[in-house]
């Protein structure tokens, strides 16, 4: 949401691999291609069901203070819109649309993140 990733996607994945190792992940992916391959390796094992439905229901409408809900919904919509159709189908979700027209959720999410960032900058330490 804030521009290019320093060092690119491979550097980002490589840096997070260290966190994976610290959490006991065996041989975490170290490049974007390795990460994509690892994620695709789960495709045939992903299933929906009542437990998944419960999680999606919670994530869609978490128990937040009312003043946080608009920003959360903007972020949730952007996340949903970033998912491939197969994942949306699995989770019982749809992209955000106004009639047949997809909504530009990434802008609302960017605005939300900007407001949160500003609030954090202004908060007492």
Q: Does residue 119 share a domain with residue 67? A: yes
Q: Does residue 53 share a domain with residue 109? A: yes
| pLDDT for 32 | 96
Q: Does residue 53 share a domain with residue 6? A: no
| pLDDT for 2 | 61
Phi then psi for residue 69, to 5 deg, are -60, -45
Q: Does residue 107 share a domain with residue 52? A: yes
17: nearest Cα among 40, 9, 79, 3: 9
Residue-number span of the structural domain to which 64 is assigned: 47-125
| pLDDT for 113 | 84
| pLDDT for 121 | 81
| pLDDT for 1 | 47
Alpha carbon of residue 102 to chain centroid: 18
DSSP, res 64: -
Mean pLDDT in runs of 10 for the chain (125 residues)?
80 95 96 95 92 95 91 90 90 90 84 83 74
């Amino acid at each position: 949401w804030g521009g290019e990733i320093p060092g690119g996607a491979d550097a980002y994945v490589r840096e997070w691999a260290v966190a994976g190792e610290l959490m006991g992940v065996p041989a975490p992916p170290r490049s974007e291609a390795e990460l994509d391959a690892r994620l695709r390796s789960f495709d045939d094992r992903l299933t929906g069901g009542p437990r998944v439905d419960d999680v999606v229901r919670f994530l869609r409408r978490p128990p937040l203070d009312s003043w946080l809900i608009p920003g959360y919904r903007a972020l949730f919509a952007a996340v949903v819109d970033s998912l491939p159709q197969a994942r949306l189908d699995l989770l019982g979700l749809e992209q955000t649309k106004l009639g047949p027209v997809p909504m530009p959720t990434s802008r609302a999410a960017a605005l939300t993140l900007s407001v949160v960032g500003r609030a954090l900058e202004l908060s007492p330490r």
